[in-house]
Amino acid sequence: MIFAATGMVLASLIAPAAPAATPQPAGEPASEQASEQASEQASEQASEQASEQASEQAAATATQVIVHYDGRHRLCGTLEEDTPEGVTVRTDDGTRQHIERLRIVAVEPLLNLPTPAEGIVQLTDGRRFRGLLRRDACDAVDLLLHDVPLVIERDNVAAVWLLEPVHVRHAAMKPMMTVDRPGPHLSMCRWLISERAWDLAVTELEAHTAAHRSVEAARLLNLARAQRKLADTASSSPSPDTPTPAIDRLEPVDQAAVNLIRVYEMDFNDPPPLRIDRETRAAFLDAYATSSLLPPPGPEREALRDGDPLELLKLMFAHRAREFYGRVQVLDEPEALRRFRQSVHDAWLLPRCGMRSCHGGTDGGRFSLVRRGRINDRIRASNLLLLEAFSDQGRPMINWASPEQSLLIQYALPREAATLPHPPVAGWRPAMDGIESRRATLTLEWIESMLSDPRPVYPVAAPAWPATPAQTAPRMPR
């Protein structure tokens, strides 16, 4: 986060700054008025306030800063002086540099992280990574993403902030999402489940089902109870005589995740068929009954209870009502996902790179693909998530800002034709003949078909290997 450089001491530079707004799905209109009324906005504000406090506490003790000056220039190092005339910084090589006050645009204190802490790194291309922050430094940001060490070069980082523990964020949002407001309260319950806060989720859902008749709340309560029981069982130490079965393949995401990704990739100009049941329609209209974006109470609003589901989905997007996205049933692939299936995933990615001796098993280095039996939509969605999540030394597998520089393409090219060649591995063969080949062209067209401003961030975690007691050093990707 960047803080305005108007004060004379570092403390005066550290003013609250909220993280960047969560990217919206493709085609989702940005409506400030609707956002203020949406229960999701209330949840985000409460969570951000708690997260800002954690980030400010970590930044307050920091001596490392980035000084932004003369437009796009920046200087990183240890803050030594802050006077009315300007700021003096000592860089890592021992050089002391003074920047005049009038030239300074902002000062960004780096986070002091004596121990790893949960946080979010936002990249300059709009992507976000959530994991355990281990280091926030001038050269890079280090974090653990699904138990895999990830180093992101500082030039690719737009913002870094900490997240308070779930129970603190829950306490901050609870006064605004009370059980007497069923829509917002159920949204909070879904958030608790997404955070795997099973005890809190069970408590809130028990209160919800006691106060309201809701099939969805009852289903979520059963889910939370089952997951809590599994977590309690997993936390108990197994008998040393009990062998642990070897896990040599990743598990794919479920069908609900497939559907949610389809919602986020919806193209209103070429929509696939979809369905929204009456209970979901009623719950959405009740939750946002006071919104000025809805038709006034009367026949036109009542028509939404049985009308075109696409029009109702547009209203959900306008309100950023993400708590309802997963309840929309998308009955076929959006165009961008069809291209991924036909031109990338089934055409060459899984057949060439997903073998068990390559990225489809445990010997594929840090990057893995899901391959289990016959290819289906769950496997495709899982591998799309894995592609989006993977980055090698700050270089993303899918580079939305510069598609040709995507590792997905560069690692598939002959080494002599690639600007970022595949690491040397015995048995490796290029999957593409060159950047002008049909396969490369179709892959580029698929990436471009997924582009939106900003790119949506799916609320779905990529498949991950289970954590082991002793983490080995990461291997080079194949």
Per-residue tokens: 179: 């059980």
Least trusted range by pLDDT, from 263-277, 317-331, 452-466: 452-466
- Find which of 70-79, 277-286, 360-369 is predicted with most confidence, using mean pLDDT: 277-286
Total tally of structural domains belonging to the chain: 4
| Residues 12, 144 share a domain | yes
Torsion of CA 201, 204, 207, 210, to 10 degrees: -40
Residue 426's contacts (CB-CB under 8 Å, 6 or more residues apart) are none
If asked whether residues 81 and 182 sit together in one domain, one would say no
Cis peptide before 165 (omega within 30 of 0): no
- Of the candidates 133, 166, 199, which is a domain's last residue? 166
Most confident of the following: 2-6, 169-173, 273-277, 389-393: 273-277
| Residue among 159, 189, 164 at smallest CA distance from 174 | 189
β-strand pairing of 395-396 with 391-392: antiparallel
Residue 78, token pair as written in the block: 């240890």
Structure-model confidence comparison of residues 365 and 93, the more confident one: 93
What's the rounded Cα separation, in Å, for the pair 163 and 54? Answer: 7
At residue 408, does pLDDT exceed 70? yes
Residue 266 within a domain? no
C-alpha dihedral sign at 150, 155, 158, 162: positive
Q: How buried is 453 (Cβ within 10 angstroms: 0-12 exposed, 13-18 middle, 19+ buried)? A: exposed
Q: How far apart are CA 71 and CA 360, in angstroms?
A: 46
Q: With pLDDT > 70 as the criterion, what percentage of the chain qualifies? A: 78
Q: What is the DSSP string of 215-269?
A: HHHHHHHHHHHHHHHHHHHHHSPPPTTSPPPP--SPPPP-HHHHHHHHHHT--TT
CA distances from 53 to 76, 95, 118, 213 (A): 23, 33, 13, 37
Nearest to 145 by CA among 132, 161, 162: 132
For residues 4 and 13, is the Cβ–Cβ distance under 8 A? yes
- Residue 267 included in any domain: no
Query: Do 294 and 397 sit in the same domain of this protein?
Result: no
Cα–Cα distances in angstroms (integers) from residue 86 to residues 83, 161, 330, in the given order = 5, 26, 57
Sheet holding 73-83, edge to edge: 3-4, 104-109, 64-69, 73-83, 86-90, 96-100
Q: Is 304 a domain residue?
A: yes
Q: Is residue 464 in a domain?
A: no
Question: Which residue has tokens 């309560």?
Answer: 221
Q: Are residues 146 and 40 in the same domain?
A: yes
Last residue of a domain, one of 166, 200, 219: 166
Does residue 394 fall inside a structural domain?
A: yes
Confidence of residue 403 (pLDDT cuts 50, 70, 90): very high
Flag whether 478 is in a domain: no
**C-beta separation of 282 from 302 below 8 A:** no
Q: Check residue 240 and give its pLDDT.
A: 44
Residues 293 and 341 in one domain: no
- pLDDT at residue 235, rounded to an integer: 54
Q: How confident is the model at residue 7 (pLDDT cuts 50, 70, 90)?
A: very low
- The Cα 286–Cα 148 span in angstroms is 42
- 77 and 105, same domain (yes or no): yes
In this structure, the answer to whether residues 222 and 277 fall within a common structural domain is no
Strand ranges, E, within 296-366 = 329-330
What stretch of H or E contains 183? helix 182-194
Each residue's pLDDT tens digit, 101-146: 999 888 888 988 888 888 888 888 778 888 889 999 898 999 887 6
Per-residue model confidence as pLDDT tens digits over 142-182:
988 766 778 888 888 888 888 888 888 899 889 989 999 98
pLDDT digits (tens, 9 = 90+) for 228-246: 887 776 555 454 444 444 4
Q: What is the pLDDT of residue 180?
A: 93
Q: Which of the residue ranges 24-33, 216-225, 385-394 would you say has the lowest mean pLDDT? A: 24-33
User: Cα–Cα distance between 87 and 98 in angstroms, integer?
Assistant: 6
Identify the band that residue 64 occupies on the pLDDT scale cut at 50, 70 and 90: confident
Together in a domain, 326 and 346: no
Confidence of residue 478 (pLDDT cuts 50, 70, 90): very low
pLDDT of residue 51: 53
CA 381/CA 370 separation, integer angstroms: 10
Helix 182-194 vs helix 215-235: angle between axes, to the nearest 10 degrees? Answer: 20
- Ramachandran area for residue 330 (φ above 0: left; ψ -120 to 50: alpha; else beta): beta
Q: Give the pLDDT band (50/70/90) at residue 13.
A: very low
Residues 83 and 126 in one domain: yes
Please tell me whether residue 21 adopts helix, strand or coil conformation: coil
pLDDT the model gives residue 6: 34
What contacts 2, CB < 8 A, 6 or more positions away? 17, 68, 106, 107, 108, 159
Are 417 and 350 part of one and the same domain?
yes
418-435 residues labelled b (16+ CB within 10 A) or e (exposed)? bebebeeeeeeebbbeeb
- Confidence at residue 413, expressed as pLDDT on a 0 to 100 scale: 94
Distance CA 307, CA 304 (A): 5
Distance CA(39)–CA(35), nearest Å, equals: 8
Q: Looking at 260, 295, 330, which one is the last position of a domain?
A: 330
Domain that includes residue 281, residue range = 273-330
Asked whether the predicted pLDDT for residue 1 surpasses 80, the reply is no
Residue 236 lies inside a defined structural domain of this protein: no
C-beta atoms surrounding 2 within 10 Å: 16
Residues 155 and 49 occupy one common structural domain:
yes
Residue 334 — very low, low, confident or very high, per pLDDT cuts 50/70/90?
very high
Site of tokens 């809190």:
200
Same domain, 325 and 345: no
In a domain, 233, yes or no: no
User: Tokens 């979809």 — which residue?
Assistant: 274
Residues 59, 16 contacting (CB under 8 angstroms): no
